[in-house]
Amino acid sequence: MKDVQSDIRFKPVAPRKIYQYILEQFVQMVSAKVIKPGDKIPSERELALAFHVSRPSVREALRVLEIIGLIEVQAGGGAYLKEMELGPFIGVVAPLLFSRENFDLELLDFRETLEIRAVELLAQHMTDDDVTMLKTSLDAMEHAVSTNDPEAGATADVAFHRTLLEASKSYILQKVMDLVVSLFEHSVRGGRSIVLERREDARQLYLDHLHIYRALRNREFDKARNLVVSHLQMVRQLYVMH
């Protein structure tokens, strides 16, 4: 308290690089909807000309946008804006996260937290349309189970849970859950095989979903919540024993 340093604090000065300025302008254009998803982005050479910078600088900015999943670049074609999707980003980071002990189990726990909250929000916002959507996902899963198609079953599984999250009307919850799903897909254990292939398990998963659906349809949200919890406990069990 007796020194100058405690009154006047010097903040480190950090000069920003050109690619950051480009990023800033670009992101601003996107949020101002000057560019919309699906639009083609000017070529790198044009951008360099427009920004009065060199092509490498433009490219460094594009690399970041690519990792964020805000643009899709095809060699020779061009770059297109798309809805932000953090898959590529997760692809880079996943190995770091999974190098932690028990990360996958923590992830399952976190998923439970998200889904429980989603059900709570459903109690406030659920519409008849939401119920219809859930039914559709459920039927797809039933079909997958009866035709014994494990891949389709897994797809229908995530579709059901995704619908649940969408019905919660919470943008953040949806996006975070998307991240969790992306992470599971990058799970280290034997590649992408969170997919449960044993027939009895698939049937049991379907039944769980069915019960959750029925509880929601009857607007018994507390019951639905408990069903979600026990459902995920079962998933966890299947998971730990491979």
Partner DNA sequence: TCTGTCAACTGGTATTACAAGTTAACCATG
Partner DNA sequence: CATGGTTAACTTGTAATACCAGTTGACAGA
- Per DSSP, what are the bridge partners of residue 79? 41, 73
Q: Does 81 bind DNA (CB under 7 A)?
A: no
Least distance CB 164 / its own copies (angstroms): 15
Binding mask of the shown chain, residues 201 to 240, with x at each position contacting its own copies by CB under 8 A = ----------------------------------------
Cβ atoms of 206 and 200 closer than 8 Å: no
Binding mask of the shown chain, residues 16 to 35, with x at each position contacting DNA by CB under 7 A = -xxx----------------
- Report the residue count for the chain: 242
How many Cβ atoms from other residues are within 10 Å of residue 162's Cβ? Answer: 16
Q: Does 45 bind DNA (CB under 7 A)?
A: yes
Q: Which does 46 bind (CB under 5 to 8 A by kind): DNA, its own copies, none?
A: DNA
Q: In angstroms, rounded to a whole number, what is the distance separating the alpha carbons of residues 83 and 223? A: 35
Query: What is the largest distance, in Å, between two alpha-carbon atoms of the chain?
Result: 78
Six token digits for residue 154: 């897994």
CA trace torsion 73, 81, 161, 137 (10° rounding): -100
Interacting residues with its own copies (CB under 8 A): 15, 17, 19, 23, 27-28, 30-32, 56, 59-60, 63-64, 67-68, 70, 75, 84, 89, 92-93, 95-96, 99-100, 103, 106-107, 109-110, 113-114, 117, 170-173, 176
